[in-house]
Every structure is written in C-alpha cells, then in structure tokens.
Amino acid sequence: MFIVKRNEQKIENTWKTEDIFKDEAAFLACLDTCKELGNELCDYDGKLEDASNLLSFLKGYEKLTCLLDDCLGYSSLLSDQDTADAHHQELKGKANALAVEIFTKLSFSDVQIMKIENLESFYASEPILERYRVYLEEVCRLKEHVLSQTEEKLMASSSLMQDTPYSIFGMLNNADLKFEDAIDSKGNKHTLTTGTFIHMLEQEDEVLRESAYRNFYAGYGSMIHTLAACLNGQTNQLKFNSTARKYASSLECAVDANNVSPRVYEQLIETVHKNIHVLHKYMRVRKEVMKKDKLHMYDLYVPMVNECNVPVSFEQAKEDVLHSIQLYGTEYAKVYERGLNSRWIDVYENEGKRSGAYSSGQRVHPFVLMNFANSLDTEFTLAHEMGHAMHSYMSTKYQAPLDRHYKIFVAEVASTCNEALLMDYLRKQNLDPKFQAYLINHFMEQFRTTLFRQCMFAEFEKIINEKTANNEVLTSDTLNQIYADLNKFYYGEDVIVDDEISMEWARIPHFYMNFYVYQYATGFSAAMALSQKLLHGTQADIEAYLSFLKSGCTKSPVELLRMAGVDMASPKPIEDAIELFDSLIDEFESIMK
C-alpha cells in the first residue's frame, strides 16, 4: 500500500485552513494582537471587585479567547496534516507558548472573581453581565480547588511542561515510529502504519492479519520502556495537579472539571463487570462463525460476513451519511451538506499525518481530520466526526463564545448518535439476510470497541493512576501485566491473550487525555438511548435533542442529557445498551444458522 506525501494530496481532499487565516502572515499578526490584548487585560489585576471593571474585563477576555482559539486551531491543523513538517511544528509551538504566557498573566482573574461576595448585585448594576453568568458560575463552582493568586500563576506557567509526556508520545507515534512491512499469503508486501493497521486486521487473509499484528507491536516493543516512561510521567503530572488542588484523587479532579461525579465513572465499570458474560457470548459466536478453536486478537476485526465486505468510496460515504441525518430537519441538513463539500474535511492519509480522526470546532466552522480508507469502518468514522462537527457548529451558532464549548462528558453523544442513524439507514437500504448480518456484525463491533473496550481502557487508566498515587513506578512490565489481566477478564476464555496485546496500551493516545475514554462508553450508551427516541419517537424528541446540541455548556452535562431525554446518573442507559447488544448477537446468530 503506497502512502502519498502531503504535497501529493489533491487540494479538494484537504481542509481549507485559509478559512481561518488567509496565510501565515495573518496568523502571526493575530498572535501579536493576542499578546497586546493580554497585556491590556493585565491592567484589571486588583480591580475586578467593581461591576463595570468586571464587565470590561470579560468583554476583552471573550475577544481574546476567540482570537486565541483561531491561532491555536490553525496551527494545530497545520501541524497534524504533516507532523514531520518542522516549520508547522514551530508555528504550533509559538501559539501554545503564547497561550501559556497570556493565561499565566491572567490567572489572577479566577481568584479575584471568587472573592466577589454578591455577584447578583453586579448583574443588577450591569445587566450586560448576564451574558457571562454561566461562565462566572462555573468559575465560582471550583472555588474550593483554586489556589492563591501566586500559586495559580505558577500552575498556569507549568502547563507546557505538563504537556511534555503527550508531546513525546505524539512525536514517537506519528513521526518517528516505523514498522516492517506486513506480508500477505502470496508474499506481497504492504506498508504498515498507524493509519493502515486496523484496515489490515479487517482483511480475510489471516497471514496478512498476523503479519501486520506481529510487526506493528514489534515496533512499539522496540520503544516500550520509553513509552512506559512517558505514561509514568503523565500519571505523575495528574497526581501533582490533583494534590495541589486538594482533590482526593486524579480521577475526582478530572471528572470534576466537567462537573460530573466520580460515581458515574465507577458505575460504568461496575455495570460492565456485571454484564461481561454478554461480551464473552459475542466472542463465542465469533469463534464459531470463523470456525476457530481459539480466537487471536488479530481475528477480532475481520468481518464475519466476508461476501458483503465491499469497498466504500468517499463519495458514496458522503451520500449515505447525508441521507441518514435528514430527520434532523432542513437547517441541520443544509449545514451538514455544506460541510461535506466545502473542504471542512482532510480526507486521506499521507506521510506524517496524525493517525485516527477528530473534529476541531473552530469559530469559522468545524474542521474534520480523517484517514479515510474506502471501508465501511471509515464511513462510520465520517458519520461520527461529522456528528461532532455539527454539535460544535450548533453550539457556536447559538451560544456566546465563552459558553460554546460543550463539556467533554457529552462530546461523544452527538457523534455516536449519528453512527446509529447511519446504521439504521443502511439496514433499510438492503434487506438481504447476508447484508443484514454484515451490518449487524459492524454494529456489534461498535459495542465491543466503544462500550466494552473503552470501559476496559477506563479501568486500566483508573488502576495505573491509583498505583501512581501509591508512589509505585509504572514500568513496562507492570503496565503489560495490568493490560494482559484486563484483556483476559474482558474477552474470556475463547480469546488468546498474547504478548503483543499486552503492549496495546503503548499506542493509545487517549491515555494522555486525563480520564477521557470512559466518556466514549457513557456517550455510546446515551447515544443508543437517544437514537431510539429519534428514530421511533415524536417530533418533540427530535426538538429536545436539537436543543441539547445548541446548548453548549450552559448546564451541567448530566442536566443537558436529561434535557435531551436520558439520565446518565443511572446505570439504566448502560444496561439498556448491553441488552440491545445481546439482542443483536441473537439476531446475528439466527441469520448465520
């Protein structure tokens, strides 16, 4: 498989960063403007106990954050399209360094806002302050965990240093790490990268799958001690932050940033543990359908219904995802179509491009990074990332700049909900039993990889942070053993847990994202419940969901989801999702027999 260089990509398949800044000169000029604004806002230090001064400060701060978002987003997009481009890395570094410098200088603001005894009187004397009520209430909510003004300045200045573990991992993973070619059953070589790995595991050729699997983890194995040191550094910086801010644990510190109780995290793991037999049942069915005595980890991604495993072009994928979201109405559909066809998306893999996929919710419009591989899996990834993009678009359109960024806890709901709508659409297009089984296979894999596997990731993250809290060093041997034990529990006796899979932790970027992964599982569960309401409920259900998309961070995540129609404070959405998974296994098994 040949991987093109960045300058060989067709322009129509790349994102249009000029929509943010027309050129690098405009970007650099905006950085200068941000620096000037930051310096001007420093004049309000010690003056925020006056309502008019607070209003003036917040107006300037709002403008500053908008411009900084533009600079950080623009430079990050350029960096991710080719991580080996040193110049773009330098631009990203400049933007990040300036952001740290500015927020270090402005760290006085939260401390001084918390000292205001009667904010309600401020709203009365300066009614325009109502625009900033949600922001001010969120600042005050964290009062007991905010330090002195001097200490907050020190904490802010350390943020670049604390990002070092993730930066090192990113460079190793995206730019430096190379793999031996995978060899198929005919002796042909295939270029193996972080972008092609899963695609190779989806192939019917078992020789190719095993070769890709062994060579891929051999690459990570060659740097396993360095990667363990990176992750050890990550958990220690989380420990430092949580201790400094008077939290009982790194987990509590992380979830409180999103105004979520640690109980939601723990409840997810407990509920999955109680129902782990359903995943074991799926592994048994997969083993029987594939006619295996035991499953290897490189057998888990290959479709069990090979006859329908046909390529999906990007044009076909765009057509399908657009059809699938029509129930949202005209406004949503028109913007969605514009996004598909106006270079919001960077479509295909190239050398040095960041692996995976994401949506970046910029003010001008969202941008979507893809590594589209002409497969059903990446068609669903397109639906997923465009779900994120539309959530960002709606929140940005309907909320003030300081309220537009929805909390991470709800981030995976809109994306996964749109995957469920695509699944429903595709199943209705072809009623052939084999094709139905093929799609159900894909749907079941979403349950395995998004609910169960992400829960396993969350449990791994919880365990390693607890070890760091107890002053244990995370060596590669320790991490490998924890990860192997979790795989044995989650996948059961029908799956061989080999040495390679014990190193999978080393390639997961989300372990550097501060307890992010559990939200894939909770978001998936919420999305399954909401998608059923959208597909089988009333127009009122659709309107409630659209209101959720428009709400940004104006309420707590759990409150926003209740407004949309699902209660994540309860285990029921997770239980219902697993029950749906169980029914899909039965339906699939019935078709295959």
Q: What are the start-end ranges of the E strands in 22-115?
A: none
Tell me 298's DSSP state. Answer: G
Side-chain-side CA neighbours of residue 531 (13 Å): 25
Classify strands 189-190 and 358-361 as parallel, antiparallel or unpaired.
unpaired
How far is CA 266 from each of CA 260, 315, 519, rounded to the nearest angstrom?
Answer: 12, 42, 12
What is the rounded CA–CA span in Å between residue 513 and residue 305? Answer: 35
Tell me 84's DSSP state. Answer: T
Residues 502/506/512/516 CA torsion (nearest 10 deg): -40
Q: Which amino acid is at 324?
A: S
Q: For tokens 């009187």, name the residue.
A: 121
What is the rounded CA–CA span in Å between residue 529 and residue 548? Answer: 14
Asked if 348 and 13 touch (Cβ cutoff 8 Å), the reply is yes
Q: Is 291 left (phi over 0), alpha (psi -120 to 50) or beta?
A: left
What is the rounded CA–CA span in Å between residue 555 and residue 540? Answer: 20
Helix axes 276-289, 262-274, angle to 10 degrees: 50
Number of H helices, E strands in the chain: 26, 5
**Choice among 210, 349, 385, 500 that is catalytic:** 385
Radius of gyration of the chain (CA): 24
Residue 359 belongs to what H/E stretch?
Answer: strand 358-361
Classify strands 345-346 and 358-361 as parallel, antiparallel or unpaired.
unpaired
Among 291, 592, 283, smallest CA distance to 437 is for 592
Q: For tokens 């159900």, name the residue.
A: 440
Active site residue 126: no
Tell me 295's DSSP state. Answer: B
Among 470, 476, 540, smallest CA distance to 503 is for 476
What is the rounded CA–CA span in Å between residue 273 and residue 296? Answer: 22
Q: 342-371: string of b/e by CB count within 10 Å (b at 16+)?
A: ebbbbbbbbbbbbbbbebbbbeebbbbbbb
Q: For tokens 């909401």, name the residue.
A: 530
Asked if 438 and 423 touch (Cβ cutoff 8 Å), the reply is no
Instruction: List, by residue number, the catalytic residues.
Output: 385
